[in-house]
A = this chain, B = another copy of it.
């Protein structure tokens, strides 16, 4: 089976949409890329970057005759997008998305799905803290997992074709139940983002003097949290509005564990602290072995050379 699609419609063209456009083009997976956005300035930016072959503010026009449609907007926009495109979706077309939650997506899209259209929600587990059409790059998905959550009614050939599309862009593909996806992602992604946003917020509330010191001394740990707390705010708002149960369940476990650790600090329980801090190393080693993280110290961040001159440096 060929992985080639005649027309790919991308509704929304941020970090993920633009990376799909670049990767699909480079790998020769599509004949035509149609791009649609809500805002004219985003569309103009996508066109200036030559991400597609056609550009329109009308999503219905973008999806007409498309055999692959991928929603790349924040999840909160799916309902109005689906209402606009449903009448124009071609029979036999695959409708997919890249949203970070999946059960809610099925709930919103399924009732509006025309007969003969194959709904295969998707989630590429890849990203950076940058957003917008210029943030994309074709290597984004290489070595990363893409989760697909097709319902039992979906044609297996369609699932295989979409899987091949993602594999051709460098991803590994796994199919699972939408509810299970949401629970796993709550702990791997949603709660980490919530915590990162929270601690950066705690710092933002410090008195101005202390805040400037926090910025100076951020290399001691804090700056690691600021990366994911710089991610797209609207996208993340929608994640927390639509995976509430998964997030509250995993946040509850995190808070229980933190209460235990807090007590160990308060009571000065050295053995408990050391035991806790020892067992966490194995998890990182597993992630590095699984090819999902670099083994280079400090994420491979650049380290500048010390001053060349020797002796008394007062610059």
Q: Determine how close the nearest CB of chain B comes to the CB of A77; give it in whole angstroms.
A: 13
Query: From A269, which residue of chain B is reached at the shortest CB distance?
Result: B241
Q: Determine how close the nearest CB of chain B comes to the CB of A230; give it in whole angstroms.
A: 4
Chain A 282-305 interface mask (CB, 8 Å, partner B; 1/0):
111111001011100111111111
Question: Is there an interface contact between A258 and B198, defined as CB atoms closer than 8 Å?
Answer: yes
Query: From A294, which residue of chain B is reached at the shortest CB distance?
Result: B301
Judged by DSSP, the binding face of A is helix
- For residue A220, CB closer than 8 A to chain B, the reply is yes
Known: A192-B225, A287-B215, A312-B2. A306 touches B139 (CB 8 A): yes
Q: Determine how close the nearest CB of chain B comes to the CB of A272; give it in whole angstroms.
A: 9
- For residue A281, CB closer than 8 A to chain B, the reply is yes
Q: Which residues from chain B contact A215 at a C-beta distance below 8 Å?
A: 283, 286-287, 290, 292
Q: Determine how close the nearest CB of chain B comes to the CB of A177; give it in whole angstroms.
A: 12
Chain A 170-200 interface mask (CB, 8 Å, partner B; 1/0):
1000100000000111011111111111111
A-B contact pairs, 14 of them (CB 8 A): A27-B306, A142-B307, A164-B314, A187-B214, A201-B257, A202-B257, A229-B280, A229-B281, A233-B278, A233-B281, A248-B262, A294-B302, A298-B299, A299-B300
Seed contacts A100-B220, A145-B216, A170-B307; 15 additional CB < 8 Å A-B pairs:
A2-B311, A3-B312, A27-B310, A127-B219, A129-B284, A142-B305, A185-B220, A187-B206, A187-B210, A195-B195, A215-B283, A229-B277, A233-B274, A233-B278, A299-B300
Q: CB within 8 Å of B: which residues of A?
A: 1-4, 23, 26-29, 76, 100, 125-130, 135, 137-145, 147, 164, 167-170, 174, 183-185, 187-206, 210, 213-231, 233-234, 236-237, 240-241, 244, 247-248, 250-251, 253-255, 257-258, 261-262, 264-266, 268, 270, 273-274, 276-287, 290, 292-294, 297-307, 310-315
